[in-house]
Amino acid sequence: MTQLPDLEQLLADPVVAALSRSEETAWFRDRPTPTIDGIKASGIDPAITEDARARFRRFAPWFAERFPDTRHTHGILESPLVGVPDLQTELGNRYGKALPGKLWIKRDDLLPVSGSIKARGGIHEVLQVAERIALEAGLMEPTDDARVLMTPEVQELLSAHGIAVGSTGNLGLSIGIVASELGFNTTVHMSMDARAWKKELLRSRGVTVVEHAGNFSDAVAAGRRTAQEDPSVWFVDDESSLSLFAGYSVAGERLAGQLASLEVTVDAQHPLFVYLPCGVGGGPGGVAFGLKQTFGDAVHCIFVEPVSSPCMSLGVRTSLHDAISVADIGLDGLTAADGLAVGRPSRLVGEHLQQLIDGYVTITDERMKACVGLLHTLEGIDVEPSAAAGVPGPWQVLANKTYLSTFGFDDAALASATHIIWSTGGSMVPAEEMAGYVAEGQRLAGEVIWG
């Protein structure tokens, strides 16, 4: 076990001190790392991305048949990329600085099946487990149509196996929905403060939801123990799963296709900035890995976290990674950002991918909620608070002259830049709850200080 420095030592770092005071922060790497070196340093084989992409293709007919919201894409799970020019103008006015380039939102809140960034990874791991079980039993060949999994013989086999996961909400939704559809006995361990509607939705699909009085890490630990006690149960580990990570990483090449179709150029003279909401880190880490494979040095990934649970920022800044929790610097980890309320980061991402991440930004719940209100009012887009976390990110980048200079972003490059806010959940939120988010956000939009 890594020995933590005492609190006085930790707080000697001005960034850690600001994090401990729940202040909004933004800090960036002091120099760029060539993508090829960063991927090599990660120790992660890029081939896992193509393997995951091929698996999604094999399962496309199954999705088209089992989930109506995937029929219009013939079973391919993807979300739209949309421009938000009115939001860009309004925030430029509020911050007192116009954002050069163009602002977009990658709407993973509309991702089919379970409507969040977590769907990419959670669904992929479930599919991989189902394939493995059927292949090992001789009931499926590698080239078979994935719909063979719904035959009585395979269904009987899968029903004898379990899937378990610890989740703050969205990962549990993606895994619970797909695993139950495939016939697995599925258990989702969730903290007590996870959204009630998510728990009820899972239960309506026959998923066992176990609630825990502690936080996300406690739910994960409980799920892990369950799987260790029963060899028929597969535990999806949000803290260290390469299968989850591979599923997330598929987003990189998909985004390249969308940008190309919109005639958006990404290269050294046309940089791409992507703002990713971060909880434990697996989702944004996997997406960043895929983006770096696809765009190389031209893409710049920024992680965004709530001020009350900046676990990745803290772990990377101190180089302690999962050996330190936000509680160690006096934070409670409580936030309205469902899915981002995580106290201890993923070592897989923090330690192995840190050279591929440009910077880390934190945001208050009030500003996040205000961004929900602005998105509704200006763009007609409704998302949950965590999905709006990245909205202020571009202005944090603009304000950091050292980062811009060190990474070589001159006025011409910024004028040609593309900024993408990566959203997460929202489409499955009950209408009454979403109306509450919007009303509170519209009120806060007039109260929050933006300058």
Whether the per-residue pLDDT at 215 is higher than 90: the answer is: no
Quick one: 220 and 274 in the same domain? no
Q: Same structural domain for residues 133 and 166? A: yes
Answer yes or no: is 56 within a domain.
no
Would 333 be classed as within a structural domain?
Answer: yes
What's the pLDDT tens digit per position in 89-148?
A: 999 999 999 999 999 999 999 999 999 998 999 999 999 999 999 999 999 999 899 999
> How many domains does the chain fold into?
2
Per-residue pLDDT band for 224 (boundaries 50, 70, 90) equals confident
Last residue of a domain, one of 244, 273, 307: 244
Residue 55's pLDDT is: 96
- Shared-domain flag, residues 97 and 218: no
Q: pLDDT (tens digit, 9 = 90+) per residue, 235-285?
A: 998 888 999 999 999 999 999 999 999 999 999 999 999 999 999 999 999
DSSP H helices, 319-420, are: 347-352, 365-374, 393-399, 401-406, 411-415
Q: Which residues contact 20 (CB under 8 A, 6 or more apart)?
A: 10, 11, 329, 330, 331
Q: Is residue 55 part of a domain?
A: no
- Region 170-193: mean pLDDT is 91
Task: State the residue range of the domain holding 435.
Answer: 7-50+68-114+249-445
- Assess whether 280 and 426 both reside in one domain: yes
pLDDT of residue 25: 98
What's the rounded mean pLDDT across residues 181-185?
A: 96
Task: State the pairing for strand pair 81-83/233-236.
Answer: unpaired
Residue 61 domain flag = no
Q: What percent of the chain has pLDDT over 90?
A: 87
Cβ contacts of 84 within 8 Å, gap of 6 or more: 103, 104, 105, 375, 378, 379, 381, 421
Mean pLDDT for 360-369 is 98
Query: With 90 as the cut, is the pLDDT of residue 34 above it?
Result: yes
- The residue out of 244, 276, 300 marking a domain boundary is 244
221 pLDDT band, cuts 50/70/90, is confident
Choice between 222 and 77, residue whose per-residue pLDDT is larger = 77
451 in any annotated domain: no
Same domain, 396 and 315: yes
Write b or e for each residue in 264-285: b if 16 or more Cβ atoms lie within 10 A of its Cβ, otherwise e.
bebeeebbbbbbbbbbbbbbbb
224/2: higher pLDDT: 224
Query: In the prediction, which pLDDT does 167 show?
Result: 83
| Pair (259, 294) in one structural domain | yes
For residue 1, pLDDT beyond 60: no
- Can you say whether the dihedral through the CA atoms of 209, 215, 220, 225 is positive or negative? negative
Mean pLDDT of the residues in the chain:
94
CATH number of the CATH domain containing 229: 3.40.50.1100
| pLDDT score for 138 | 96
The pLDDT of residue 223 = 78
Is residue 399 domain-resident?
Answer: yes
Cα Rg for the chain, rounded, in angstroms?
21
Same domain, 238 and 357: no
Q: 244, 261, 285: which is the final residue of a domain?
A: 244
Query: Nearest to residue 281, comparing CAs of 212, 213, 360?
Result: 360
Whether 2 is covered by a domain: the verdict is no
Q: Give the CA angle between residues 140, 179, 174 to the nearest 5°.
A: 130
Q: Are residues 271 and 350 in the same domain?
A: yes
Residues 436, 332 share a domain = yes
Residue 69 has pLDDT above 90, yes or no: yes
Of all residues in the chain, what percent carry a pLDDT higher than 70? Answer: 99
Taking 90 as the threshold, does the pLDDT of residue 192 lie above it? no
Question: Is residue 170's pLDDT more than 80?
Answer: yes
259 and 318, same domain (yes or no): yes
b/e burial code for range 287-308 (CB count within 10 A of at least 16 → b): bbbbbbbbbbbbbbbbbbbbbb
Task: For residues 38 and 104, state if they share a domain.
Answer: yes
Predicted local distance difference test score (pLDDT) of residue 363: 98
In this structure, how many other beta carbons lie within 10 angstroms of the beta carbon of residue 344? 27
The answer to whether residue 208 scores a pLDDT higher than 90 is yes
Residues 83 and 179 in one domain: no
In a domain, 59, yes or no: no
Q: How confident is the model at residue 359 (pLDDT cuts 50, 70, 90)?
A: very high
